[in-house]
């Protein structure tokens, strides 16, 4: 074994000392793991209908009294419970201003607990942040008096559910040199179905084939180019119409009922809700407008056989701007898919339970 010279011993000693100094620098400059505590909040509910919201209350960023932490950015993310895939995220500054969101419109941030005295730059405690793009923190991690209480900045974060399944959330803080992350939130389950219906320019006879607990105004607001939504009052054999943007007449969207929607351009309906399992639609003598919500298609022959006293079954051809009717002959039969609105003409009162 070759002997180590004194010169080599000095070099090795210098390297060891350098490594120790570097380690000490990191120990001094990086705060301990207890310097920042993040909690993902408490759920407003654990079973959510697709398209509805869930709120995480008291999403907290806590900084210990003797630290000044440079908070560059906060992040709140939703993960699929089994695969741990990220399905939605929002980034925001300490004051709650969103800087990035995916999907767009999925989150609402509300800061609920804050004191302006907590913000400063330099030695002390609390937090600091860049004063503008490209501006570095003037101090970084600092250590202040040990007799100060910890600070807690709180948020309520509302998330609009995007897909069905089981999910959890995590809250994190990017502090320039280190990212702190909370534990997982409680798991919440989202149930329901998302449906898309295509609309052609003009009048479209449709039905909303999921239970969504919405009104005509809600629906119109989310349809590009929508001008009017009408339902047919069978008892009075007349239309009742909501004009988009005019609150004077609004009505609830009911399961199993048809709707006439007028759009000034090709468009679509995107609605989330739970599957409809049964309906109770009273039928009056004359014309009645119903909606086919079942996932399995049917035809006018089968529908007519399951509606008491049915004389005619009609659908609206948007391309031709006119009705076509099944009169009982095989040649006039037509298919009825999920989401299609239908007029039936009956000679007696009855109740339609969705069969056909």
Domain enclosing residue 138, as ranges = 34-191
Cβ burial of 117 (10 Å; 0-12, 13-18, 19+) is: exposed
Structure tokens at 280: 């109770």
At which of 156, 174, 191 does a domain end?
191
| Chain centre to alpha carbon of residue 115 | 30
pLDDT for 34 equals: 56
Give the CA diameter of the chain: 113
269, 313, 307, 276: which is closest to 293 by C-alpha? 276
3-state secondary structure of 24: helix
**How many Å apart are CA 254 and CA 279, to the nearest integer?**
9
Indicate the pairing of strand 73-80 with strand 165-174: antiparallel
Selection from 341, 81, 113, 305 nearest residue 205 by Cα: 341
What length is written for the chain? 356
Between CA 57 and CA 41 the distance in angstroms is 5
- Of 168, 191, 214, which residue is a domain's last? 191
Q: Does some domain include residue 119?
A: yes
Same domain as 300, residue 172:
no
Phi, psi of 136 (to 5 degrees): -80, 160
Q: Which of 157, 191, 225 is the last residue of a domain?
A: 191
d(CA 57, CA 129): 24
Is 217 a domain residue?
yes
Same domain, 240 and 208: yes
Number of domains in the chain: 2
Return the pLDDT at 174: 87
Q: What is the CATH number of the domain that holds 64?
A: 2.60.40.10
Same domain, 306 and 272: yes
Quote the CA–CA distance of 78 and 67 in Å, as a whole number: 29
| 94 shares its domain with 216 | no
* Whether 285 and 200 share a structural domain: yes
Examine the domain organization and report whether 186 and 252 are in the same domain. Answer: no
With contact defined as beta carbons under 8 Å apart, do 109 and 116 qualify?
no
- What is the structure's pLDDT at 7? 63
> Is 125 among the domain residues?
yes
Question: At which residue do the structure tokens 């419109």 appear?
Answer: 105
- Shared-domain flag, residues 209 and 154: no
Same domain (yes/no): 78, 135: yes
Beta-bridged to residue 199, according to DSSP, are: 267
Asked whether residue 175 is assigned to any structural domain, the reply reads yes
By the 10 Å C-beta count (0-12 exposed, 13-18 middle, 19+ buried), 346 is classed as buried
C-alpha to C-alpha distance for 177 and 263, rounded to whole angstroms: 53
Q: Is residue 213 part of a domain?
A: yes
Would residue 16 count as lying in a domain? no
Let me know whether 64 and 187 are in one domain: yes
Same domain, 204 and 343: yes
Residue 7 lies in a domain: no
Confirm whether 263 is domain-assigned: yes
The verdict on pTM exceeding 0.75 is no
pLDDT by residue for the chain (356 residues), tens only, comes to 455 665 655 656 666 656 554 444 444 444 444 578 899 999 999 999 888 899 999 999 988 766 667 778 899 999 999 999 999 999 998 889 999 999 999 999 999 988 776 665 444 434 443 333 333 333 333 344 444 567 889 999 999 998 889 999 999 998 766 788 999 999 999 998 889 999 999 999 999 999 988 999 999 999 999 999 999 999 999 999 999 999 888 999 999 999 999 999 999 999 988 889 999 999 999 999 999 999 999 999 999 999 999 999 999 999 999 999 999 999 999 999 999 999 999 999 999 999 99
End-to-end Cα, the chain, rounded Å: 94
At residue 149, the pLDDT reads 67
Contact, 48 vs 161, CB < 8 A?
Answer: yes
Per-residue pLDDT at 31: 47
The reply to whether 186 and 261 lie within a common domain is: no
Q: Both 40 and 177 in a single domain?
A: yes
């Amino acid at each position: 074994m070759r002997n180590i010279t004194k010169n080599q011993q000095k070099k090795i000693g210098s390297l060891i000392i350098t490594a120790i100094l570097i380690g000490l620098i990191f120990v001094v400059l990086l705060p301990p793991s207890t310097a920042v505590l993040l909690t993902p909040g408490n759920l407003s509910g654990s079973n959510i209908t697709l398209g509805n919201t869930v709120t995480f209350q008291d999403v907290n960023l806590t900084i210990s009294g003797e630290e000044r932490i440079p908070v560059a950015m906060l992040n709140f993310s939703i993960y699929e419970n089994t695969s741990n895939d990220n399905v939605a995220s929002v980034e925001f500054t300490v004051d709650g201003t969103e800087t990035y969101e995916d999907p767009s419109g999925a989150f609402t941030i509300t800061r609920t607990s804050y004191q302006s005295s907590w913000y400063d730059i330099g030695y002390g405690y609390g937090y600091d942040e860049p004063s503008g793009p490209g501006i570095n923190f003037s101090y970084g991690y600092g250590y202040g008096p040990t007799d100060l209480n910890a600070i807690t900045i709180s948020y309520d974060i509302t998330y609009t559910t995007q897909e069905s399944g089981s999910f959890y959330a995590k809250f994190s803080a990017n502090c320039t040199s280190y990212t702190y992350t909370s534990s997982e939130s409680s798991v919440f389950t989202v149930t329901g179905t998302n449906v898309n219906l295509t609309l052609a320019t003009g009048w479209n006879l449709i039905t909303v084939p999921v239970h969504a607990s919405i009104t005509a105004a809600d629906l119109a607001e989310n349809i590009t180019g929508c001008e009017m939504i009408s339902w047919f009052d069978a008892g009075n054999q007349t239309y009742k119409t909501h004009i988009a943007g005019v609150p004077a007449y609004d009505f609830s969207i009911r399961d199993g009922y048809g709707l006439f929607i007028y759009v000034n351009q090709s468009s679509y309906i995107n609605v989330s809700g739970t599957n409809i399992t049964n309906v109770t639609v009273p039928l009056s003598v004359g014309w009645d407008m119903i909606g086919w919500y079942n996932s399995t298609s049917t035809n006018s022959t089968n529908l007519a056989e399951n509606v008491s006293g049915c004389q005619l079954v009609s659908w609206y051809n948007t391309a031709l701007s006119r009705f076509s009717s099944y009169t009982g002959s095989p040649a006039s039969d037509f298919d009825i898919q999920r989401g299609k609105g239908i007029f039936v003409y009956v000679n007696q009162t009855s109740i339609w339970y969705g069969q056909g």
